Chain A
Amino acid sequence: MTAIPLGMPAFPTAARDGVHDEVLRANLRHATHTIRDKRARAVAELADWDRLREAGKAVKDHTLRHLDRYLLELEESVTAAGGTVHWAADADEANRIVTALVLATGEREVVKVKSMATQEIGLNEALEAAGIAAYETDLAELIVQLGHDRPSHILVPAIHRNRAEIRDIFRTEMASWGRPAPDGLGDDPRELAEAARLHLREKFLRAKVAVSGANFMVAETGTMVVLESEGNGRMCLTLPDTLISVVGIEKVVPTFRDLEIFLQTLPRSSTAERMNPYTTMWTGTTDGDGPTAFHLVLLDNGRTDTLADAVGRQALRCIRCSACLNVCPVYERAGGHAYGSVYPGPIGAILSPQLRGTASEIDASLPYASTLCGACYEVCPVAIDIPEVLVHLRERVAQGGPVTREGIRVRIRPARGHTAERAAMRAARLLLDRPGALRAGERLLSRAHRLRPRRLPGPGRAWTDSRELPRPPAESFRDWWTRERGDRGEEHR
């Protein structure tokens, strides 16, 4: 199954570092607010945005409903176009397939296009264990890789770093991977991009094997689609002899025509542009143009389990635009690392606990990493009701119930730590059913309001860790009502 960073604590603990890191919060605030305002303008240009959103949602739902049929059609089209299709049930199997394919070429280096799927399965680490060096070529991924760091955003993985930090990483780390940073490198983004260009160009021009993901796969034609900005994608997708693409099975769409929806909604939702600078579409192999060998690795890794959940499966519509991250008040303050997954933010909070299950502390805490404000649903270009899935997963964590794990229907128990919460809810019900006892309790609380502790003891402590304990009023509402409007109030009794 998917790797969780070692010893990853639950979200509230992991988020504390982010919330208290002022540089990180400033970097994130600047970045998310910039892109959020720009996105709103890009979306407002299309009068039919709501219809495109509905169509995108419907294409994805229809495809998921007939996923077996479309994957088989895709396999046939890719094979007919000169590609080879492999199927991987989990991360280990996908890593084994890719490693074997690379070793078979005789090469020990690969260049990589930014891909969430290969991060999800920990491909770079698996390749490294087999003696293969994997070079990330997206600028932000390069910053993350050189900085021995983890990505913190779907679109801009190094969003948590500012220019000075990036300059320092380039100065100290570039030499160990290839061409060193130019002498006297400053922190102007233009200079930093130029340093990355020089560093990576020597890798692109000699690379024999590339690994990518894909934004879309077209069942009818076998066409693969990658959207990008820098040209590193085009370099990797066209210069090497062998191209290996690892793609989640949910990325398939039925027809070439369906792309007309997503090519309009994805760039505007993602980078807030009318269109991203480069999109590459390829169908198998083309004689004399581009790679001579193309391998497609279709990845399950928890996706079919997610598909088995009637409420949660809508997370598989996700086209990884990251609009939900940029509007999320929780992401903006906690940062992407706190989510303990390559999928941070609101979509990560519903995707990770479904792909990986809720057994770990971090995954059980993710459905709670939200204020349920609904902004993520508003911006989602495929209308994933993230709050609905969050509430659904909270119920699963708190109460347990039937889930599908690795294709098998099982019943899980409530996650640890929720026993106390359920006891408290039972006690509350007892009290609310007895108005007399409730009134007495309220009076007692009012009288004791000066003695309010900052933190609750015992099981309540976790609650007050991240919240201010509300101040009890000096007088209960019932008492106030009786005092102020006593007679009329009594009439209605």
Chain B
Amino acid sequence: MSTRDLILGRIRRAVDGPDTEVPRDYLREHGARTPEQSADLLAAHLTEYRATVHRADEDDLPPLLARLLARRGSATVLVPPDLPPHWLADADVTVVHDLAASTPLELDGVDSVVTGCALAVAETGTLVLDAGPEQGRRRITLIPDHHVCVVRIPDRLVDSIPQALDRLDPTRPLTWISGPSATSDIELDRVEGVHGPRTLEVVLLGGSAQ
């Protein structure tokens, strides 16, 4: 008998009793918010995780990104293949593309990465990347130490986890990011930055731009 049949046989002999209905009476979102309030909540939660949050509309975005990269002293910036070119039009940087042949070691030398995201979750302060438009492969938002993520408000913003799962495609690789890399393994003191980007900057694009 194969191990598979052995295990399945053990399970069939083991289980008995009535089935359980799953109650779905939990909330789809916690509280009612206007899109502006949702954006504020996302910003507050990201800030609490020690990410830096900025606001911009389409016209402000290129100068803002240029300022963020200059302040960081970034000379090279990794971008997904389909990042709108005008986003980095004002930035004085060398743009690096994530080619199939580039090794993780090569990407390790890049200063910053700029991407969009599939969606953001206000209640938990989470960005979700699904390797879709403006996002690129999973590794590009992992290796550089500085990640700038642009969230289109309001169309990429949801309030809650249940709403987020409704909109995501499970067959795509999904990366959920809630603040920069962090550890609490030493005396439960939170330290930002271990292996992933130690600095996360989030730009809320559109909505109540300043």
Contact = CB atoms under 8 A, between A and B. Distances in A.
A452 interface: no
B184 A271 contact: yes
Nearest to B196: A231
A156 to B, nearest CB: 6
A347 to B, nearest CB: 19
Contact of A277 (B27, B108, B174, B180): B180
A281 B12 CA distance: 30
Contacts of B185: 138-140, 143, 156, 158
Contact of B176 (A34, A48, A260, A279): A279
A432 B182 CA distance: 60
Most buried by A among B174, B196, B197: B196
A30 interface: yes
A388 B177 CA distance: 38
A479 to B, nearest CB: 52
Interface stretch (B54-62, B68-76, B86-94, B136-144): B136-144
Interface in A256-305: 256-261, 263-264, 271, 273-283, 286, 288-290, 298, 300, 304-305
A45 B4 CA distance: 43
Given A223-B170, A263-B161, A280-B175, A163 B187 contact: yes
Nearest to B142: A234
A200 B194 CA distance: 10
Q: Is the interface of B mostly helix, strand, loop or mixed?
A: loop
A277 B3 contact: no
| Interface-central residue, B17, B108, B121, B195, by most chain A CB under 10 Å | B195
Interface in A122-179: 137-140, 143, 156, 158-159, 162-163, 166
B172 A48 contact: no
A46 interface: yes
A122 B178 CA distance: 32
Contacts of A58: 20-23
A256 B121 CA distance: 17
A116 to B, nearest CB: 16
Interface in B9-45: 9-17, 19-27, 30, 45
Contacts of B17: 65, 310
Contacts of B193: 193, 197
A234 B139 CA distance: 8
- Tell me which of A54, A87, A229, A290 has the highest count of chain B C-beta atoms within 10 A of its own C-beta: A229
A55 B27 CA distance: 11
Q: Looking at chain B, what size class is its interface with the partner chain?
A: 35 or more
Contacts of A257: 162, 165-166
A234 B196 contact: yes
Contacts, number: 248
Contacts of A93: 3
Nearest to B27: A48
A186 to B, nearest CB: 12
A235 to B, nearest CB: 6
Contacts of A27: 187
B3 A229 contact: no
Nearest to A35: B188
A332 to B, nearest CB: 14
Given A51-B25, A256-B170, A300-B7, A230 B195 contact: yes
Contact of A290 (B20, B100, B138, B176): B138
A229 B11 contact: no
Given A201-B108, A239-B104, A234 B2 contact: no
Interface stretch (A67-75, A102-110, A364-372, A391-399): A67-75
With most chain B CB atoms within 10 A of its CB, the pick from A62, A200, A259, A275 is: A275
Contacts of A51: 23, 25-27
Interface in B152-196: 161-162, 165-166, 170-189, 191, 193-196
Instruction: Report, nearest first, the 10 A-B pairs whose CB atoms are least far apart.
Output: A231-B196, A231-B195, A304-B10, A308-B14, A279-B176, A230-B194, A140-B185, A275-B178, A281-B174, A275-B124
24 contacts: A55-B24, A62-B21, A62-B22, A65-B15, A65-B17, A68-B12, A71-B7, A87-B4, A87-B7, A89-B3, A189-B186, A204-B195, A234-B138, A234-B142, A235-B196, A256-B165, A259-B165, A274-B45, A277-B181, A278-B177, A279-B176, A289-B173, A290-B138, A310-B17
Given A281-B170, A304-B7, 4 more contacts: A58-B22, A238-B139, A286-B131, A300-B7
